[in-house]
């Protein structure tokens, strides 16, 4: 199961190590102190390795102290088809982690409890969250999941390389054209101007939107007329040209043949467009890079159009849980101030404004940049609807691989038209129960 559909390789490592980012509800005073003495076991399914479990175990005692008589039992998360079947049968875990590619799928199956009534009862205001962090868990005004981990995109840059090339450091408000021009100047002597994935749709999406295109419609029901629209074709042509015309980054195939891994850390690329993940943990950039570096905001598109994306994990509750009060309480602890301090101290981004202020994240030269980008994040195109991971991510990944790695793939218009049709077919198959 893909928790974050078509996950960036560095983000995949984040989940394995359990380093997380944040989340959130209610003031600490709204958390109940006691909930009776009845013996109740709450099952929670999670994904991630032993480090994730160790972080969960830091939260558990505080929850169990507040909800007396309640014990949390952790178990590995099942395949989502099996889990939805178990939810319908009333045999699923009470609480479970969700990847951003799961939320619309679960919600469409009726497999997520609406958390809004619980939040209203406990006076948990949505205004406490940083803008953009609730979008994935929200559908038609109802909240079905609360955030645990998230990241936006920004640009790591090698200050030493910029100085040597006489290129000013990027700053707030720099544009896509400036990004490209800087990358061209920095591409020399077997050094690339930038490290770009080439075919990671979550990275490509904000570039497309800033250039006026869209990969699907707002509710993920149409790809034809969007993925192959003139604006999107123009945007993807701009993206492809970065690799084939300007050669500022290796194509996916070329990058694989280099066998280097992180081009930026190896000083084979002057910039790296990605999330916060490389800077986290004991082996992150702050501890390992031997050169001067910084982080710049995502570049801005024409007409000052600034768009970003969000990569996210969260917590949901089974609608068939037999212990909904305790299950909601666990979601609230995992995604609230108690959990936030655990995930946040692992090096991530807090989703709660108060926690971000407490840790002075906005003043941090690294995490502060990613945090400030959150207000520009939009619901990613590849998770707009329950079929969007297949209809958008899988199809566009295939199309980009063809355009970047196969000389005879055809024009951008031809390739996107084929992939848009494949995407529409995937949506139709989903709607037909396939």
Domains and their CATH numbers in the chain = 9-151+311-380 (3.40.190.10), 154-308+382-431 (3.40.190.10)
Q: Please tell me the number of Cα atoms within 13 Å of 214 on its side-chain side.
A: 16
Residue in the structure block whose two tokens are 């926690």: 355
For every residue of 149-185, DSSP letters joined together read EEE--EEEEEHHHHHHHTPPPP-TT-BHHHHHHHHHH
Rg over CA atoms, the chain: 22
pLDDT of the residue at 74? 96
Q: Please tell me the number of Cα atoms within 13 Å of 222 on its side-chain side.
A: 8
Contacts of 350 (CB under 8 A, 6+ apart): 21, 22, 23, 24, 130, 340, 343, 344, 356, 359, 361, 371
**60 in Cβ contact with 329 (< 8 Å):** no
CB atoms within 10 A of CB 345: 12
Burial call 196-220: b when 16+ CB within 10 Å, e when fewer: bbbbbbbbbbbbbbbbbbbbbeeeb
pLDDT of the residue at 163? 98
Per-residue pLDDT in tens (0 to 9) along the chain, 434 residues:
334 444 444 444 444 333 333 323 333 333 333 344 468 999 999 998 898 999 999 999 999 999 999 999 999 998 888 999 999 999 999 999 999 999 999 999 999 999 999 999 999 999 999 999 999 999 999 999 999 989 999 999 999 999 999 999 999 999 999 999 999 999 999 999 999 999 999 999 999 999 999 999 999 999 999 999 999 999 999 999 999 999 999 999 999 999 889 999 999 999 999 999 999 988 999 999 999 999 999 999 999 999 999 999 999 999 999 999 999 999 999 999 999 888 866 757 998 999 999 999 999 999 999 999 999 998 999 999 999 999 999 999 999 999 999 989 999 999 999 999 999 999 999 999 86
Token pair of 298, please?
Answer: 């995502």
pLDDT of the residue at 9? 43
Q: How far is CA 218 from CA 13, 31, 132, 226, 381, in A?
A: 30, 36, 16, 10, 8
Q: Kindly report the three-state secondary structure assignment for every residue of 311-358.
A: EEEEEEECCCCCCHHHHHHHHHHHCCHHHHHHHHHCCCCCCEHHHHHH
Alpha-carbon distance 77 to 97, whole Å?
8
CB atoms within 10 A of CB 262: 17
Residue in the structure block whose two tokens are 């492809």: 240
Token pair of 355, please?
Answer: 């926690």
Which run of H or E residues covers position 75?
strand 70-76
Token pair of 397, please?
Answer: 């990944």
pLDDT of the residue at 263? 97
pLDDT of the residue at 157? 98
**Entry pTM:** 0.90
Q: How far is CA 157 from CA 196, 265, 422, in A?
A: 13, 10, 37
Alpha carbon of residue 172 to chain centroid? 22
Alpha-carbon distance 67 to 136, whole Å?
29
Residue in the structure block whose two tokens are 């979550």: 202
């Amino acid at each position: 199961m893909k928790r974050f559909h078509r996950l960036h390789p560095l983000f995949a490592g984040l989940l394995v190590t359990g380093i997380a980012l944040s989340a959130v509800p209610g003031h600490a005073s709204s958390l109940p102190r006691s909930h009776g003495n009845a013996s109740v076991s709450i099952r929670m399914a999670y994904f991630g390795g032993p480090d994730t479990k160790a972080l969960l175990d830091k939260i558990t005692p505080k929850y169990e102290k507040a909800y007396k008589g309640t014990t949390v039992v952790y178990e590995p998360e099942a395949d989502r088809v099996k889990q939805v079947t178990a939810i319908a049968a009333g045999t699923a875990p009470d609480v479970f982690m969700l990847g951003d590619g799961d939320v619309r799928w679960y919600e469409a199956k009726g497999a997520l409890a609406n958390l809004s009534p619980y939040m209203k009862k406990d006076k948990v205001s949505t205004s406490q969250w940083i803008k953009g962090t609730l979008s994935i868990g929200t559908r038609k005004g109802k909240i079905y999941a609360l955030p645990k981990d998230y990241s936006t995109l920004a640009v790591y840059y090698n200050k030493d390389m910029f100085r040597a090339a006489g290129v000013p450091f990027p700053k707030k408000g720099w544009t896509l054209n400036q990004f490209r021009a800087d990358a061209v100047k920095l591409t020399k002597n077997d050094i690339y101007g930038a490290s770009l994935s080439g075919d990671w749709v979550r990275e490509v999406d904000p570039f497309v939107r800033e250039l006026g295109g869209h990969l699907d419609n707002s509710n993920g029901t149409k790809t034809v007329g969007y993925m192959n629209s003139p604006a999107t074709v123009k945007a993807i042509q701009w993206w492809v040209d970065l690799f084939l015309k300007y050669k500022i980054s290796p194509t996916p195939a070329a990058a694989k043949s280099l066998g280097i891994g992180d081009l930026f850390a190896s000083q084979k690329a002057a910039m790296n467009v990605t999330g916060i993940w490389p800077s986290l943990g004991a082996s992150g950039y702050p501890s390992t890079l031997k050169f001067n570096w910084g982080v710049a905001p995502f570049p801005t598109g024409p007409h000052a159009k600034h768009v970003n994306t969000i990569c996210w994990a969260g917590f949901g509750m089974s609608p068939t849980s037999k212990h909904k009060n305790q299950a909601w309480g666990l979601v609230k602890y995992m995604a609230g101030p108690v959990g936030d301090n655990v995930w946040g101290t692992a090096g991530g981004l807090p989703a709660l404004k108060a926690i971000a202020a407490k840790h002075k994240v906005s003043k941090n030269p690294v995490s502060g940049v990613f945090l400030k980008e959150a207000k520009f994040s939009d619901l990613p195109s590849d998770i707009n609807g329950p079929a969007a991971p297949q209809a958008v991510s899988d199809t566009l990944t295939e199309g980009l691989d063809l355009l970047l790695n196969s000389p005879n793939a055809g024009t951008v218009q031809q390739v996107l038209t084929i992939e848009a049709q494949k995407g529409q077919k995937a949506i139709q198959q989903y709607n037909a129960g396939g």
